[in-house]
Amino acid sequence: MRWIKRLCSLLFFCLVIAAGIIGFQGYRDYREALEGKSVEQMAYEIESQENYTSIDELPQTYVDAVLAVEDKRFYSHPGIDPIAIGRALVNDIKAGAYVEGGSTITQQLAKNQYFTQDKKIVRKVAEMFMAFKIESVLDKDKIFELYVNSIFFGNGYYCVADASAGYFGKTPAEMNFDECTLLAGVPNAPTNYNPVASPELARQRQAQVLEKMEKAGYLDKTETENTAVAE
């Protein structure tokens, strides 16, 4: 029994050392990224782009749909969501692979603006540090704005205004319920859920968006059942 206890102690010690090394490397990568571009500069670069859309110009349905599918606790967490991370960890362990990341909208903004798209744990730690920094500098509405104005919507569209104009021939403010809930599902997998390239998959994703909106409290069951989704 003694050797088992010693082995467990050794394994625990190794895990602590490994966690410390990963944390240090992640923090180092975060500091290097921040030195290359401040949060204020990042925000300015996105805001200066043509067709930048403020949150006041977005339909509430679209905002609700994005929050429901991407980060339903966005307005209550400090940049990372421990509940989502825990759920993702369980699902990853069950799948035996990295299938879910548990990233918040703030983390996704950090990843897209500062880091590569690889799924290494050190990058994930750096992304978390950057998410905390972004939240300390910008308010929630601004973070949401920057996110929807800099993500890929497929078909060559990299902001909500371009996607709305390209897919529907409208400004974001003019989108109806159907268009809002359709567009909100696209960034999860733009190639697959692109309504031009894959209209059927886009509609299937839209059904998931509606289900998540209901679960998050943005729609009641009657509204969901009565919502006519164009085929």
59/78 Cα distance (integer angstroms) = 25
The backbone region for 150, taken as left when phi is positive above 0, alpha when psi lies in -120 to 50, beta otherwise, is alpha
DSSP assignment string, 1-22: -HHHHHHHHHHHHHHHHHHHHH
- Say whether pTM exceeds 0.75: yes
Q: Which domains does the chain show, CATH number per domain?
A: 1-35+75-150 (1.10.3810.10), 154-231 (1.10.3810.10)
In this prediction, residues 35-49 reach a mean pLDDT of: 97
Looking at the chain, which runs of residues are DSSP E strands? none
Instruction: Kindly report, residue by residue over 98-131, the tens digit of the pLDDT.
Output: 445 569 999 999 999 999 877 678 888 999 999 9
pLDDT value of position 21: 74
Tell me: the pLDDT tens digits for 157-182? Answer: 999 999 999 999 999 999 999 999 99
Nearest CA among 176, 183, 227 for reference residue 205: 183
Calpha distance 31→11 (Å, rounded): 30
Task: Give the pLDDT band of residue 191 (cuts 50, 70, 90).
Answer: very high
With contact defined as beta carbons under 8 Å apart, do 42 and 34 qualify? no
Residue 98, CA distances (Å) to 56, 89, 93, 102, 131 in order: 36, 9, 8, 11, 21
